[in-house]
């Protein structure tokens, strides 16, 4: 959203650059959620002798939280061509993490279950999401309008257990709105409305097919994201 507003949604950098994210990521998705959102019976990889079809049948569908947004809030992700299944899954859950933050803001709930589900428990991304939601709630702001994301790229590392998902965002039509008065704070579009995102995602060991945000690096005023 527009950076000149009192409380913008896109935050300043809270993590290292992509190079640092890649060099600093762990060897696997270490779920630090104390089992809060694990699904009973989810396989931990299966035996080596099990056939691919058997492994697939042993993995139940992921019980994902509802992140439906109100009709006046639209978060749009440009479709990316990612033929690799791990890349596509990591990108999709990075999108879910971003959308979950907006969901927490419109719900005015710093303890919203959505962002917790899509981030490593008490990790940097978890704290980033909670802090951003809380700042908006404390100031009495929600959001309205359309925010667009494009240029998705995924670098999978560490034996496909970690991935850096990057994209650009356009918040020229995304605004702050006062919760009590419903007043929308509109400002003139500028380069400040364009941001680059780098989210370090890790594959969950307990929920096969689920990726969680570990770190988030958001830089505002990025000319390269302006198109």
Could you report the per-residue pLDDT of 177-222, keeping only the tens digit for each? 999 999 999 989 999 999 999 999 999 998 999 999 999 999 999 9
State CA 157 to chain mean position distance.
18
Judged by phi (left if over 0) then psi (alpha if -120 to 50, else beta), residue 182 lies in left
pLDDT digits (tens, 9 = 90+) for 82-98: 878 999 999 999 999 99
Query: Residue 119 and residue 14: Cα distance in Å, rounded?
Result: 14
**Which of 72, 65, 56, 58 has its CA nearest to residue 101?**
65
The β-bridge partners of 220 are 195
Query: Residue 197 and residue 98: Cα distance in Å, rounded?
Result: 10
pLDDT exceeds cutoff 80 at 17: no
In degrees and rounded to multiples of 5, residue 198 shows phi and psi of -135, 115
Cα Rg of the chain, angstroms:
18
Least confident interval from 107-116, 127-136, 200-209: 200-209
| Burial per residue of 40-69, b for 16 or more beta-carbon CB atoms within 10 angstroms, e otherwise | eebbeeeeeeeeeeeeeebbeeeeebebee
Residue 169 structure tokens: 């965002």
pLDDT for 58 equals 55
Could you give the C-alpha distances from 215 to 24, 56, 59, 185, in angstroms and in order? 10, 29, 27, 30
The position carrying tokens 């479709």 is 79
Residue 78 structure tokens: 């440009």
């Amino acid at each position: 959203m527009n950076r000149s507003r009192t409380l913008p949604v896109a935050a300043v950098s809270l993590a290292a650059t992509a190079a640092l994210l890649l060099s600093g990521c762990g060897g696997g998705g270490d779920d630090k959620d104390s089992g809060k959102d694990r699904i009973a019976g989810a396989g931990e990889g299966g035996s080596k002798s099990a056939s691919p079809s058997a492994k697939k049948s042993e993995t139940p569908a992921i019980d994902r939280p509802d992140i439906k947004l109100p009709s006046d809030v639209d978060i749009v992700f440009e479709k990316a061509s990612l033929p690799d299944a791990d890349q596509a899954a990591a990108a999709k859950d990075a999108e879910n993490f971003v959308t979950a933050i907006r969901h927490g803001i419109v719900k005015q709930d710093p303890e919203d279950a959505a962002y917790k589900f899509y981030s490593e428990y008490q990790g940097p991304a978890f704290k980033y999401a909670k802090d951003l939601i809380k700042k908006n709630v404390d100031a009495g702001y929600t959001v309205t309008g359309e925010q667009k994301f494009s240029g998705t790229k995924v670098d999978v590392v560490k034996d496909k257990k970690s991935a850096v998902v990057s994209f650009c965002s356009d918040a020229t039509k995304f605004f702050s709105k006062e919760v009590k008065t419903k007043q929308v704070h509109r400002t003139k579009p500028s380069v400040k409305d364009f941001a680059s995102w780098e989210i370090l995602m890790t594959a969950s060991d307990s929920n096969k097919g689920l990726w969680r945000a570990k770190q988030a690096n958001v830089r505002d005023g990025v000319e390269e994201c302006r198109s």
